[in-house]
Structure 1
Amino acid sequence: MASENVHTFTDDNFEKEVLQSNIPVLVDFWATWCAPCKAIAPLIDTIASEYDGRIKVGKVNVDDNPGTPAKYGVRGIPTVILLKDGKVVDQVVGAIPKAQLEALIKKAL
């Protein structure tokens, strides 16, 4: 289960929670059947705790919320997208190491 610092984003709340956020947002697009998604889940939890207050971290289940992944061209999962001021700063696809995820985050801080 995700830590208390990891938000659940949906097609319905994405604009309010992500696009209108006053701090950068790291979004993990995932699915329950995706093994690499499960592999990076603990890393996403750790990042959410370590960067609490500086970035917002959340997940979008692509099976339950197909609209948002389609809008952002998500074709493979896990896809992690970093947004700042409602715009995509960068994105990566696949299970990546913590150092690469932190390098991504630093682009928005």
Structure 2
Amino acid sequence: MARQLKKIQNKVHPKETAPAVPPRKKGRDIFLLLMIGLVFFLMIVGWDQLPVIDRSMYAALSVSLILTFVMRQGKVKEPILTWITRASFAALFISLALFAYTVYIRYFAA
């Protein structure tokens, strides 16, 4: 009897469903692409003048930026996405640590 009552109620007053939210369109990430290009340009132009620490700092920064681009643009499953996010943050922190070390060596450890 209760099932029949529910069927009748659904026919008379159907439940309102929330409108489906369209998936967010992914942008082109022009700024991110410009930053990746700038880092590669600086690495290519200054390869002879940069010490090994600076080269590795720029390499870690470029890895972080590329992983961020893959994270934003790629169609990746959730478990892989978490690993990409972790790797991106790890590369970014390595780059920041190398930058701090470079600043310390150049300006404070005279």
TM-score normalised by length of structure 2:
0.32
More strand by share: 1
Report the structure number with the largest CA radius of gyration.
Answer: 2
What's the TM-score, normalizing by structure 1?
Answer: 0.32
More helix by share: 2
Between the two structures, name the one with larger relative contact order (CA 8 Å, sep ≥ 6). Answer: 1
